[in-house]
Chains A and B, each alone.
Chain A
């Protein structure tokens, strides 16, 4: 009978498969619950025992995107026939749509601040990591430790000084302020992660490019960056996820123009706190950009580290 130490046998494979599927189900269940809740009626969403099978409704999504006013049956009558399907849904609840909600703006703020800080973080992080990796920087180890130490406490611990600083600088409730804040918080992570990736790229490639007639910056741009793509992609995902999901600073520092979606979504719940489907709908849509971003960069994540054409 043949025997291999590298190839797992059938039983092991099954066991591993069951384990992975089980884990996936556990992690994905809350997500499925949120998505499902978005399509429930408010009554179904708080029903006990919880309803797994329910009649789907777009009420949550209509409530998410619109402002409505309560109207008496007489007033509804006076409005005439509803002009479209979502007006119909509003009428069924005994309300009239008075205009769009602020969810769109808040979502756009999240996009600007999340992606803006991620981009800034990648530019600064890659440059700093390259310098730490390749150049003789005075006090390099101390500087790296100092950079890491900025993450040794939860960022919210310095909320009050930051709040005061922002007020004095006029950065309260501005996109720029939030981008700078999230960049500052994420930069230490990105410098450390990217330095690791750049350290793995043999210096010989740059030396070859220097000899081939390129300047150091061109060598960095044409040779180092493409090979650091994997590291940059995974670091960017980490940075985006933090900036995208951040709640505490967003509550504290934004209230209007620059408010992001996380502090806005809970306010949708409305008077009486029963509009869970609208909250769930807001959360569901909020999940999409990070998911798309991660899927787009998946290729780089999976490609892994290039086995170089350098003889070791």
Chain B
């Protein structure tokens, strides 16, 4: 296991800047989740660390060693591809054995067998070991693809949306499983996801990418409770943070253009009137769609609320975020 650091990493694809001077340190044994919409540079970051792509500028260090010019095999990284990339001419077992049989590891046969069986149990694919890789469902392929990384003990695991095509229950199971594998083994893990529950529950650190730039790096709570910009604040939180013009509430500091309100930053029952547009009962929580001074906002209320469309709810902000004209946080 090892520390991974990127310094000034830049990558262009033609005229597009995929990564723009990214500098970050992924501490040894940490679980780092990269957040950002499609095209923000998440996958490119993984490919830079893996060695599948080479940065135009900057350096990548793993365990204190400069990786410039090293092949993926020499870097000792394991990667779970978003597209699974299982070898179609091999069985599931052969797919899982493949990294262990590499000329670098040359694992003895009895160890290979034990390791593969163990991983197959964790991923609940033991009964599929002798199937051709092409005979699996999408979710099973994805699990084999995760397994192909987990059979090894590399210096760093790179995972590109590894749970995206699993059903909700399996995803929840594997989330716990992955987190405990990582915590037990002390593995360093760099993980790309769109799913904020994955980010909040598994990450020790979150990196927020915006058009190839790293805009914030910190613990999930830090990103959630102390975002640097509207963009970073919007990455986490369900429902999303509400952004309104700063002057709709009194007390905005100078320079503030927008006010950001997460559900828990909206106190209900005090302040000014808003109208209930819609009530969504989600079971464990209820979402209120409100109109406040002709602005829409969404908040959360008691699961068993009696509120209905057209009711009036008084609201006031509590310790809100204020953002300047460029979207950066001012207070």
**Which A residues fall within an 8 A CB radius of B?**
202, 204-205, 207-216, 218, 223, 226-227, 306-312
Contact = CB atoms under 8 A, between A and B. Distances in A.
B103 interface: yes
B78 interface: yes
A213 B102 contact: yes
B98 A212 contact: yes
Given A205-B85, A213-B104, 12 more contacts: A204-B83, A205-B87, A207-B72, A209-B87, A210-B72, A212-B102, A213-B103, A214-B102, A309-B86, A309-B87, A309-B141, A311-B82
A306 B138 CA distance: 16
Contacts of B99: 211-213
B138 A311 contact: yes
B134 A308 contact: yes
Interface string B158-170: 0000000100000
A118 B141 CA distance: 38
- Output the residue of A208, A227, A307 with the most chain B CB within 10 A: A208
A208 B85 contact: yes
A208 B87 contact: yes
Contact of B85 (A213, A215, A309): A309
Nearest to A214: B102
A211 B141 contact: no
Per DSSP, chain B at the interface is: loop
Contacts of B84: 309-311
A177 B71 CA distance: 41
Contacts of B89: 226-227, 306
A197 to B, nearest CB: 14
B88 A227 contact: yes
B73 A214 contact: yes
B98 to A, nearest CB: 5
B136 interface: yes
A225 to B, nearest CB: 10
Interface string B55-86: 00000000000000001110011110111111
A280 to B, nearest CB: 43
B71 to A, nearest CB: 7
Contacts of A204: 81, 83, 85
A278 B61 CA distance: 76
Q: How large is the interface on B (under 10, 10 to 19, 20 to 34, 35 or more residues)?
A: 20 to 34
9 contacts: A205-B87, A208-B87, A209-B87, A213-B99, A213-B105, A223-B87, A309-B86, A311-B82, A311-B141
Contacts of B73: 210-215
Nearest to A311: B83
> Which of A204, A212, A307 has the most chain B CB within a 10 Å cutoff?
A212
B273 to A, nearest CB: 50
A306 B89 CA distance: 8
B148 interface: yes
Contacts of B87: 205, 208-209, 223, 309
A217 B311 CA distance: 70
A211 B50 contact: yes
B83 A211 contact: no
A306 to B, nearest CB: 5
B52 interface: yes
Contacts of B105: 213
The 8 A-B residue pairs with the shortest CB-CB distance in the complex, in nearest-first order: A213-B102, A309-B86, A212-B99, A204-B85, A213-B104, A208-B85, A210-B72, A226-B89
